């Protein structure tokens, strides 16, 4: 009987601007052997990002494109595109990346970029989504793992994590509760992608 040939592990690139807690969450699950992915690179726009140290602790090299060093921001986006094309990842994971990706990048990696956003999309897009939800007075908030399209937080939804806003909960407590859910659903979304289990039709994502 012929032996089954395992599928090659997906090459992953991470985009991050900050402390890197979602990066850490995904890398820890990869380390446990639960995601068939190879974390090839971290690309960051912030030379002081905590995500650089997290990547290093998991033997993931970092490429720094310092946003502040670019007088012409168009050049930053061109360098980012060139960097990603050189690495040629199967999947790009935006985890706390604070720049809007240009259409050229999204088209080059269509349906191969996953983002984590701290709201139940399509509600509360953009920055400070947790504060938006808290100030609006919703009873349930949460987070969304989604594919990136050319809009702002408007791509097909893969998974969502829900947080009930309890009486007396502070904005800080809500933010931490949402972050805890992010650490659950982002690794799961990456896992499903690497296992070829995500199928998009009419902007709806099915998990096979």
Per-residue pLDDT of the chain (208 residues; tens, 9 = 90+): 444 566 789 999 999 999 999 999 999 999 999 999 999 999 999 999 999 999 999 999 999 999 999 999 999 999 999 999 999 999 999 999 999 999 999 999 999 999 999 999 999 999 999 999 999 999 999 999 999 999 999 999 999 999 999 999 999 999 999 999 999 999 999 999 999 999 999 999 999 9
101 is in an annotated binding site: yes
22 is in an annotated binding site: yes
98 is in an annotated binding site: yes
Active site residue 117: yes
Task: Report the C-alpha gap between 192 and 172 in whole angstroms.
Answer: 31
Q: Is the sign of the CA dihedral 104, 37, 161, 183 positive or negative?
A: negative
Q: In which residue are the tokens 């990066």 written?
A: 23
CB 143 within 8 A of CB 120: yes
**Length of the chain as a residue count:** 208
- The pLDDT value given to residue 128: 96
- The pLDDT value given to residue 148: 98
Task: Report the C-alpha gap between 76 and 68 in whole angstroms.
Answer: 9
CB 188 within 8 A of CB 180: no
- The pLDDT value given to residue 7: 75
Catalytic residue among 77, 117, 146, 183: 117
Give the domain ranges of the chain: 10-207
Q: Could you tell me the fold of the domain covering 10-207?
A: Rossmann fold (3.40.50)
Q: What is this structure's pTM?
A: 0.95
CB 128 within 8 A of CB 148: no
């Amino acid at each position: 009987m012929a032996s089954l040939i395992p599928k090659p592990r997906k090459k992953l690139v991470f985009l991050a601007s900050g402390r890197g807690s979602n990066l850490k969450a995904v890398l820890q699950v990869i380390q446990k052997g639960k995601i068939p992915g190879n974390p090839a690179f971290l690309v960051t726009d912030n030379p002081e990002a905590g995500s650089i140290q997290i990547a290093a602790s998991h033997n993931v090299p970092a490429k720094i494109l310092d946003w502040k060093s670019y007088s012409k921001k168009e050049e930053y986006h061109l360098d980012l595109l060139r960097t990603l094309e050189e690495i040629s990842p199967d999947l790009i994971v935006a985890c706390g990346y604070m720049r809007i990706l240009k259409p050229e990048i999204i088209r080059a990696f269509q349906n191969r970029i996953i983002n984590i956003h701290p709201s139940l999309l399509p509600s509360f897009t953009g920055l400070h989504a947790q504060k938006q939800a808290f100030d609006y007075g919703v009873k349930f908030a949460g987070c969304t793992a989604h594919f990136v399209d050319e809009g702002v937080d408007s791509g097909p939804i893969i998974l969502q994590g829900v947080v009930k806003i309890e009486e007396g909960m502070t904005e800080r407590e809500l933010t931490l509760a949402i972050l805890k859910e992010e650490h659950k659903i982002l690794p799961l979304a990456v896992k499903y992608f690497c296992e070829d289990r995500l199928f998009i039709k009419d902007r709806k994502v099915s998990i096979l």
